[in-house]
Structure formats: C-alpha cells, structure tokens
Structure 1
Amino acid sequence: MSSQSLTDVRPAVIIEDHAPRGITLRSIGSMLMLAVMWGLSIPVTKLGLESLPPLTLTAMRFAIAVPLLLVFAVGQNPLPRRAFPRVAALGVLGIGIGQVAQTFGVSGTSASVGTIISATIPVFIVFFAALRLKQHVSGWQKLGLLAAFAGIALVAYARGHGTTGSSGTSVVGALCVLLSALAIAFYYVWSVELTTAYGTATVAAWSTLFGFLALLPWAAWEMWQVPFHITTSGISAAAYLGLIVTVSGLFLWLNLLRHVPARVAASVQFLQPVFGIAAASMMFGDRLGPSFVAGVALVLVGLAFSMTSRRGAR
C-alpha cells in the first residue's frame, strides 16, 4: 500500500502519461525522498517484528494511517453506497491479504530478500493490467516477467548459501512475500476504475478502513494468544509504516505526479530496492553474496523491461 495508499508501489506505471511538465531539482529531490521512504519499509517492518507479532504490527500501522487518510478524504468526492462492497473487497485484498502476507513473509525472510521480492510488484501490475484493463503486453515485458522470476529464484537460492546474514530466509517466508506482491499488484489494477470514478483519496481512505476493520478481530486474537512486549522500536516501526510509508508516501507521490510525467516518477522503483537492501545490510548485517547480487540484477532488469510498454493505457 510495500506499499503503497497501501504499500510501496504505485499504479501509475500502468496509466497513460498525462504530465508534460519539466523536471526540476525539487521534483528530483522528491523522488529521492520517496525512494528512501518506501525503500526502508521492509527493513523497518523487520525491526518492528523483533518485538511485535505480525498481525499486531500491521494493525498498529493502519490504526495510525486510517484516521489520517479519512481526514484527507474530507471534502473529496463522497463514496456512494453502491460502491461500498467493491471498495470493501478492495481493502480486504490489499490489507487482509497483501499487507498481512507481506508482514508474515518479512518475519520469515531476511530484510534484503523481502525487499527485492517486493520490488517485483510493478512487473505484476503490468500483467494484471493486460488481463483486466486489456492493455497490450510487449515481448520485452514478457521477458521482464521471466527475468524477475529468475531473479526471485536466485535470491531464494542464496538463502541456503549463507549470503543473507543473521536473518534467515525460509521458502514459506519468500512465498508469502511473493503472494503479497501479487495481491498488492492486483489491488492497484483493480483500484484504477474505482479511483477514476470516486477519486484516489476517497478510495484509499475507505478501502484502508474496511481492510483495517477486517483485520482487527484476527489481530485481537493474536494479541490474546501470543505474548509480546510493547517497545520503543516496535511503536516507532508501526508509526513509520503508518505515517511515512502509507500516508505521507501516498500524498508525496500524488503531488509528484502533478509535476513530472508518470513514467519518470515511476523510475523511483529502481532506487527503492537499492535503498532497502543498503538499509538491511546496515541494520541486520545481511551479506550480499554473488547469487543474491545476480538475483537483484535480474529483478531490476525485469522491472526495466516491464516499464517499456507503449503509452496509451485506457
């Protein structure tokens, strides 16, 4: 909404470029700031999981984000009753599956592995857009998908060869992050029609609220069953994910799209995993062996190929 109103990746990579304005130092600075903010999301999640269980951390994140999103939605297009079921389902998909799977996945992977698998979200956006929005998929984009999957396989292979440091990675953890990437990508594609009809702020606020409400009973059950300690690092991680990644990141992104072409703004996707992996290396001592580096390179190549589509998404 990871992003995102929900995670760390934006749907603009599938939308026609309508922002012909020039690029300024301010816009470049905004893109770099955004790459850092979103790039740190997986390492910060990993930090929060050291003291908080997955559902509890996710619930705390959106308990912070939801009121702020609702405030920003005040005065925007109202959401009609007939749209509630679709927006609610969107929130359950984005948070109940996407964000929860990401948090569980990060608990079972190193921060570096989680970061690079999450970086595949734009690749999946392109292919879900082809299915749902009937957009053309070029040969380069198909090659990009293959490269991204090959990169994920290499990253997963690296986990068993001592290249990811003290934070071990399991196959289940990697699959959970991959499931999260698929769910979040589908969330963005599915949200295009709704945001076009009712506005981004409105759909983001209401879908996040519905997803949060669906999560609350499970988080309450987890808090009852799983012992945990409220720590400064845990609260700080939840606050960062809710305030910086979910809310500030969304509105910085929307402001950025008003000043630079969408495809230029989307180039932040290349920097996000770089900052995330650098942070994981410093925070958790993740070691970047040859297999891991090769996997990262393949994922970035896949991301580049996936963004070479023709202009003109309808």
Structure 2
Amino acid sequence: MGSFASMLLLAVMWGLSIPITKLGLLTLPPLTLTALRFAIAVPLLMLLILGRRRLPWRALPRVAALGILGIGVGQIAQTFGVAGTSASVGTIISATIPVFVVVFAALRLKQSISGRQKLGLLAAFIGIAVVASGNGGGASSELQTSVAGAGFMLLSSLAIAFYYVWGVELTNEYGTVVVAAWSTLFGFAALMPWAGWEMGHVSFQITAEAVAAAAYLGLIVTVAGMFMWLNILRTVPAGIAASIQYLQPVIGIAASAAMFGDSLGGLFAVGVSLILGGLALTVTSPGKASQAI
C-alpha cells in the first residue's frame, strides 16, 4: 500500500509539471524560469552527494555532455514548447517520452522492438500529429498552440528520452545520484550565459506565483521526484512502476483545464487516445525500456 501511495503521489507531482511551468511563464521568460528552477535544484543535489563516490575526471566530459543535452536541449526546449502550446497539448506531447526511450534503447543499447511496440510507436506518432494540429480550442490567444510550440515539445521529448537512455550507461558506472547531480550542474552552468542575456534583453516580472512555480519545478519535480522514483524502483517491479506514466498526462490535462480553461475538443480526444494507446503498447511489451518523465 505504501508503494502504491508513493506511485500515485509521484504521478500527481510530475503530472502537474507542465501546467505549473505554464503558470511560471505568465510573468517570466523561458530561459529565466528554467535557470531559476535549476538554481534551486542544483545546490540540493550537490548537497545530497556529499560523502558519496567521487566522479572520476575521465567521466566529466560525458557527464557534462549529458547535462547539456538534458537541460540545454531537453528542458529549455520543453519550456519554450510550453510557452508556445496550451498546457493540455504540452502535457500530452511530453507523455511520449517513454515511447522515444524505446526507440533510442533499440538504437543505442541494442534492445529489440517487438511488432506490438512498432504498432504503439506508429499510433503515438499519429496522435502527436493530431494533437499538434489543433489550436487549443477555445483557449485565449496566449494559451493557444503554435506549430513551433508543438515542435519544441517534440524536440524536448526526443532529447529527454535520449538523456535517459544515455544516462543508463553512465549511472551503471558511477551511480544514479552522482551522475544526476553532476550532469544537472553542468547543464545549469551552460544555461546561465543564455539566461543572463535574456534577463538583460527581455522585460519580465518576478511574482510570487513565478517563484512558487520555479520552486515546485526545482524541489518537487527535479529533486524529490527523482528520489521518489529511485525508491519506488527499489521496491516495485519496473513494469508496475511504469504504470504511473499513464496517470501523468491525465492529471496534467485535468489540471490544465482547471487552471487555464483549456477547451478539450473531439480532435484532441482522438489524439490523446492514440498517444496513450501507443504508450500502453510500447511500455508494456516484453523487453521494454521505460523511464519516468
């Protein structure tokens, strides 16, 4: 029962990440919000690796590249994507990360893709196209979906999926917590010059809502979420743990509708059904490679 409660709580925590990012973007530009998020997360992650195994010098280039991929490409693209989509569309496109994990695991880790998984991949890709073709229904203009916004969300899903797969190799060598902390630090360092430029050229307003959004993303999604996921994997089979992936988009879409009044039309429902169906076929197949968002 304790593990089930933890899985449900984690699904809620991660499911709210896109709507809360949208909330922070109402007054902060994308790079600034991302920098604030990781300015909160990085010190805590570094504190948590004190006394643990040191990362050898030879590993630094790969870990630094991993961090630049995960934050410099994945998280930044996600923030720009959320800025250019309705929260509901952003949530459902981000739900495709486990699908791309299967693809990259097959390419890099030489894991096979079954016929069932191929069908799931096809359904998910069609679903992405259907969802991205919408404009956010009756949402206000600043919350509608653009092609560029959907493209950024798709780029984010690809980058984060490859981050997870590549990270498997490094965490097997040096430990999950150590790699997560150092890669996040390197990614944050690469982000800072761009965020500094944005702060000097784009007007923004630091509000209590924006700070709360950054704190939620840094503390709850990045730090607490990672450790909850690791703890779940220690006590629950990976196949069962992966079931939280089905709840996250449902929670995110419901929160988006409540927070921003996203209008969920019939076409959107068709796209969501295809993506979630594809996700189910992909991550429940034998030999899957599923990871959390």
TM bucket (normalised to shorter chain) is over 0.9
In 2: Cα distance, 1:174 partner to 1:239 partner: 25
Letter in structure 2 aligned against 1:165: A
- Contact in 2 for aligned 1:110/1:164 (Cα 8 Å): no
Distance of aligned partners of 1:147 and 1:304 in 2 relative to their CA distance in 1, 3 Å threshold: same
Gaps of 5+ in 1: 1-24
> Partner amino acid for 1:38?
W
- d(CA) in 1 for partners of 2:255, 2:229: 22
Q: State the distance in 2 between where 1:219 and 1:158 align.
A: 31
Superposed displacement of residue 194, structure 1: 0.4
Q: Give the letter for the 1:242 counterpart.
A: G
Q: What letter is aligned with 2:114? A: S
Moved over 6 A (4+): none
> Pick from 22, 36, 42: which aligns with 2:12?
36
Q: Name the structure 1 match of 2:120.
A: 144
Match of 1:308 in 2: 284
197, 216, 241: which one pairs with 2:192?
A: 216
Distance 2:37 2:111 in 1: 34
Alignment check: 8 A CA contact 1:158 1:164 kept:
no
- 1:9-24 matches, within 5 Å, as none
**Alignment correspondent of 1:232:** 208
Equivalent position amino acid for 1:222 in 2: E
Structure 1 residue aligned with 2:169: 193
Q: Distance in 2 between matches of 1:136 and 1:279?
A: 36
Q: 1:76–1:199: 8 Å Cα contact kept in structure 2?
A: no
- CA–CA distance in structure 2, aligned partners of residues 257 and 311 of structure 1: 17
Structure 1 residue corresponding to 2:269, chosen from 293, 297, 304: 293
Q: CA offsets, 1:125-150, max 9 Å, x none? A: 00100000000100111111111111
Aligned match of 2:155: 179
Measured against aligned partners, the alpha-carbon deviations of 1:4-47 in whole angstroms (never above 9, x if no partner) come to xxxxxxxxxxxxxxxxxxxxx11111111000000000000000
Aligned length: 287
2-structure distance, mates of 1:281, 1:119: 17
- What is residue 255 of structure 1 aligned with on the other side? 231
1:294: Cα distance to partner? 0.8
TM-score, normalising length: structure 1: 0.90
Aligned in 2, Cα 1:284/1:234: closer, same or farther, shift over 3 Å? same
Output the CA distance in 2 between the equivalents of 1:273 and 1:312: 20
CA distance in 2, matches of 1:311, 1:164: 41
Q: What TM-score results when the alignment is normalised by the length of structure 2?
A: 0.96
Verify: 1:89 aligned to 2:33, yes or no: no
- Mapped to 2, the partners of 1:49 and 1:277 lie a distance apart of 17
The residue that corresponds to 2:253 in the other structure is 277
- After superposition, the C-alpha distances for 1:160-216 in whole angstroms (9 at most, x for unaligned) are xx6252211000000000000000000000011100000000000000000000000
Q: Deviations along 1:52-111, whole A, 9 cap, x unmatched?
A: 000000000000000111111112221000000000000000000000000001000000
**SS where residue 258 of structure 1 aligns?**
helix
Please identify, of 68-77 and 38-47, the stretch whose mean Cα deviation from structure 2 is larger: 68-77
Gaps of 5+ in 2: none
Q: Does 1:49 align with 2:25?
A: yes
Task: Report what 1:163 is aligned to.
Answer: 137
Q: Is the 8 A contact 1:61 1:241 kept in 2?
A: yes
In structure 2, what is the Cα distance between the partners aligned to 1:85 and 1:164? 47
